[in-house]
């Protein structure tokens, strides 16, 4: 594949829940090293779209391609992807440390290499969470969310997918996550796709913004100083 070929390509993608279209005849190309922000009201199809990208849902028709290969027919993309959608991604009978070590070992990393990765995240995740002896199911919602995001961004991956990553995070952790995502694009050359209701963060960090409504793409534009105003106008939010 050439550098100009899409990193991810969505072709005629459809997904319905009963008679309700969640994703409606969608076509979209995402290119390497983009930081994509997907915005839209509840029910606009954002989370369904991310689950289709990750082969967690089967489309009714159409396909998702990762570097030219259908994600439903190939596993080659899985070890290159870090993702967190919701608590179902966690293994709640493990401790946080056990969970992180398992993710690292699945990628073939030694314990020393996993600790080295963790060392880069000291500002984002307080180490009493990782060293915590209680099980993940006993953590607060905020710490569960932080642990899930940590697992998605900790190891070097080509693709990071996060659903509402700024939810549950305290202001300092939100700031650190912004830094981590930016560094992942610049230093790791990662492609990142996030969905978020937080228009401020989307307009702050994303290189491209895609607006969903009723499973369709209503707008798709490169970020600019006018992006936040453009989004507020669409959602009828007074400045």
Confidence of residue 239 (pLDDT cuts 50, 70, 90): low
DSSP labels for 181-225? HHHHHHHS--EEEEE-S-HHHHHHH-SEEEEEETTEEEEEEE--T
Q: What are 111-117's contacts with CB under 8 Å, separation 24+?
A: 117/154, 117/155
Q: What is the mean pLDDT of residues 7-22?
A: 95
Task: Tell me the C-alpha distance between 229 and 88, whole Å.
Answer: 35
Question: Is the pLDDT confidence value at 209 over 80?
Answer: yes
**Structural domains of the chain sorted by starting position, each given as residue range(s) with its CATH number in brackets:** 8-234 (3.40.50.300)
Average confidence score pLDDT of the chain? 91
DSSP labels for 127-166? HHHHT--S-GGGS-HHHHHHHHHHHHHSS--SEEEEESTT
Task: Tell me the C-alpha distance between 158 and 2, whole Å.
Answer: 16
127 vs 13, higher pLDDT = 13
164 vs 75, higher pLDDT = 164
Task: Tell me the C-alpha distance between 36 and 161, whole Å.
Answer: 10
Confirm if 76 and 32 have CB atoms less than 8 A apart: no
- Left if phi > 0, otherwise alpha if psi is -120 to 50, otherwise beta: which for 222? beta
Query: What is the tens place of the pLDDT at every residue in 22-72?
Result: 999 999 999 999 999 999 999 999 999 999 999 999 999 999 999 999 999
Query: What is the tens place of the pLDDT at every residue in 122-152?
Result: 777 665 677 778 899 999 898 899 999 999 9
Assigned token pair, 207: 């290189």
């Amino acid at each position: 594949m050439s550098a100009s070929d899409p990193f991810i390509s969505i072709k005629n993608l459809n997904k319905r829940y009963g008679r309700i279209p969640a994703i409606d005849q969608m076509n979209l190309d995402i290119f390497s090293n983009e930081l994509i922000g997907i915005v839209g009201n509840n029910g606009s199809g954002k989370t369904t779209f991310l689950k289709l990208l990750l082969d967690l849902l089967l489309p009714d028709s159409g396909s998702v391609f990762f570097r030219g290969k259908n994600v439903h027919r190939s596993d080659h993309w899985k070890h290159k992807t870090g993702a967190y959608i919701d608590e179902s991604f966690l293994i709640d009978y493990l401790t946080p440390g056990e969970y992180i070590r398992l993710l690292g070992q699945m990628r073939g990393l030694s314990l020393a290499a996993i600790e080295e990765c963790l060392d880069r995240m000291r500002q984002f995740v307080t180490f009493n969470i990782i060293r915590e002896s209680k099980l993940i199911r006993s953590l607060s919602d905020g710490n569960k969310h932080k642990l899930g995001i940590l697992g998605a961004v900790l190891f070097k991956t080509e693709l990071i997918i996060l659903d509402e990553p700024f939810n549950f995070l305290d202001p300092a952790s939100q700031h650190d996550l912004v830094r981590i995502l930016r560094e992942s694009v610049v230093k790791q050359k990662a492609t990142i796709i996030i969905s978020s209701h937080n228009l401020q963060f989307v307009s702050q960090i994303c290189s491209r913004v895609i607006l969903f409504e009723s499973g369709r793409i209503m707008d798709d534009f490169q970020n600019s100083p006018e992006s936040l105003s453009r989004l507020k106008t669409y959602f009828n939010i007074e400045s």
